[in-house]
C-alpha cells in the first residue's frame, strides 16, 4: 500500500494504471479500482476493471 495523498487530486479523462507484476502460478486475475473518498471517509467507486494475466499485453 502507499501513503495517503497529501492534497486533493483531480483526475480528468481516462485513467490507465501501469503495473509491474510477477506471479508464482501460471495465471492470476488483476483488478484496479478508482475510488473517490469524501472528507468524512466515505467512499464511492468511480470505475474498476480487471484482466486475466494470461491475456496480458506486452509492450
Give the pLDDT mean for 31-52. 87
The answer, yes or no, to whether residue 50 has pLDDT greater than 90, is no
The answer, yes or no, to whether residue 45 has pLDDT greater than 90, is yes
Residue 5 has what pLDDT? 77
Domain extents for the chain?
29-59
**Residue of 59 and 41 predicted with greater confidence:** 41
- Which tens digit of pLDDT belongs to each residue from 17-38? 887 888 888 888 888 888 888 8
Residue 39 has what pLDDT? 81
Q: Are 33 and 48 in contact (CB under 8 A)?
A: yes
Residue 32 has what pLDDT? 87
Secondary structure element (H or E) that encloses residue 51, with its range:
strand 43-52
Amino acid at each position: 500500500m502507499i501513503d495517503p495523498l497529501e492534497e486533493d487530486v483531480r483526475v480528468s479523462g481516462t485513467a490507465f494504471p501501469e503495473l509491474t507484476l510477477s506471479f508464482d502460478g501460471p495465471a492470476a486475475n488483476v483488478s484496479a479500482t478508482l475510488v473517490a473518498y469524501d472528507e468524512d471517509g466515505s467512499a464511492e467507486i468511480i470505475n474498476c476493471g480487471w484482466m486475466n494475466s494470461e491475456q496480458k499485453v506486452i509492450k
